[in-house]
Amino acid sequence: MKKVVIFSISEDTEEIRALLQTLGMEVIKEFVQNRSRPHRESFLGPGRTDEILKEMEEMEVDLIVVNGVLKPSQHHFLEMKFQMECADRTGVILRIFTDHAHTPEAIAQVTLAKLRYELPFLREWIHKSKSGDRPGFLSGGAYATDVYFEHAKTHARRIEADLSDVSKQREVTRTRRREKGYSLVSLAGYTNAGKSALMNKLCNAGVEVDDRLFSTLSTTTRRISGIKGNILMSDTVGFIKDLPPDLINAFNSTLEEIFDADLILLIFDASESDDVVKSKLSTSLKILLPKIENRSIVVIGNKIDLLSQESRDGITVLLKPIIQPYDLILISSVTGEGLDRLRERILMVQGHTCVIKAEMPLTDAVYSLLSRLRSSAEVSMRVIGRHAAVIVRCKPEDSERIVGWLNVAGAAKITTNAESPEMPPERETPSSGNEGAPL
């Protein structure tokens, strides 16, 4: 287990500790120097770094972790000063990404993010070597640093091209799904908010659920079970505050599953403190809102099984000014509380506001038509003697075409937009909930 010390200009080190815990690292000491902004050269300030250097002479330390984002000049100064490997917050997150990347796409995205992260540091080390300072980024020599810099630029361009192809393929897949009548719902939110657990509950997906941060890096898409209609749900990489734009851009092909969805479920952990909830929701909305325009969002408070009724009411009042005009639904992925209401809200994404009622003969052609209609509409059927009473709920733009098909199949007494309580389906083609989903 690696032993690390933390350098911070803020007392708030809870999140960086959680990140290091995810990596299995042991924090043996924190060095905090309260400042409004980092020192331009040494991050903590020259006097404080001298004090720490003397104190660390008696300590066994493998890594210095800075609770913030380092400039290349600051990184060079600290590694030279302490003669030890130094990583900032972004570097720690990238190490977690590397550990959790298992699919080819995730590995490519993480590699690109690492290269973009390292290039400015490489430039600094090359500049320092030409100025006479000891060269060698990450313990390499001057020549090795220069060669690695050119290799990194070439490698990054190659990965960018590959991920661009992946992005185009995803767009083709999304287009095909919509042509087949599927609506797309994406889970988004801060890391470790319970997105994967919710997906497992709604889709019987078997997605890995882990208390560690960023356990999900690759997009997983499944059909939602327990509701009528063709709706697919995607689980995506979690958000975290203060991520540099290059790191977000490296995951664009994955984040497109969020930005191009018909409905976004923005998940947060309702069991956390008020300040943490507000901070994490604000971070998530800042990432989403510039990209999604007026796309529909529903804010989901997860883990309410850990809250009293009073706390639940308090969450609603607390978040109303932050999330307006979006709806808030409180749920528990563990107990299933609130999931019925969530399913009803998800079902609205298909826009099946037009209701067609008809009486149909019991023929093979009718059964074939109703089976085909289920790919783009909700179909209920009740057998009455030698006929079937059928209700089709569909999008308004599809109603005229469906009425035409029903007429050809021999329908009688067709009425449109005749809203009534849904008839219980006494005889309906059984469905596993997964057939035909173009995953």
- Per-residue model confidence as pLDDT tens digits over 298-352: 999 999 999 999 999 999 999 988 888 889 999 999 999 999 999 888 888 877 7
Lowest-confidence region among 142-146, 365-369, 394-398:
142-146
> Taking Cα atoms as reference points, which of 11, 53, 61, 63 lies closest to residue 32?
11
Q: Give the pLDDT confidence score for residue 137 in this predicted structure.
A: 47
Q: What is the mean pLDDT of residues 222-248?
A: 75
pTM of the model: 0.68
- On average, the pLDDT of the chain sits at 81
Q: Report pLDDT for 431.
A: 37
> What CATH homologous superfamily does 181-348 map to?
P-loop containing nucleotide triphosphate hydrolases (3.40.50.300)
CA distance 155 to 157: 6
How does 360-388 read in b/e, with b if 16+ C-beta sit within 10 Å? beeeeebeebbeebbebbbbbbeeeeebb
Give 197's contacts (C-beta < 8 A, 6+ positions apart).
Answer: 209, 302, 333, 334
Residue 218 pLDDT level (bands cut at 50, 70, 90): low
**Band of pLDDT at residue 436, cut at 50, 70 and 90:** very low
Bridge partners (DSSP) of residue 382 are 389
Lowest-confidence pick of 155-164, 173-182, 280-289, 396-405: 173-182
Amino acid of residue 351: G
Of residues 329, 376, 326, the one with CA closest to residue 351: 376
Predicted pLDDT at 88: 93
Q: Contact, 424 vs 382, CB < 8 A?
A: yes
- Residue 206 confidence (pLDDT): 65
Question: How many C-beta atoms surround the C-beta of residue 83 within 10 A?
Answer: 8
Q: Which CATH number fits domain 351-416: 3.30.70.260, 3.30.300.100, 3.40.630.30, 3.30.300.30?
A: 3.30.70.260
Q: Are 60 and 3 in contact (CB under 8 A)?
A: yes
Identify the band that residue 81 occupies on the pLDDT scale cut at 50, 70 and 90: very high
Cα separation of 366 and 358, whole Å? 12
Mean pLDDT within 265-275: 92
CATH tag, 3-98 = 3.40.50.11060
In the predicted model, what is the mean pLDDT of residues 191-205? 84
pLDDT at 37: 94
Per DSSP bridges, beta strands 183-189 and 231-235 are parallel
CA dihedral 202, 204, 208, 209 (to 10 degrees): 40
SS3 431: coil
pLDDT above 90 coverage of the chain, percent = 30
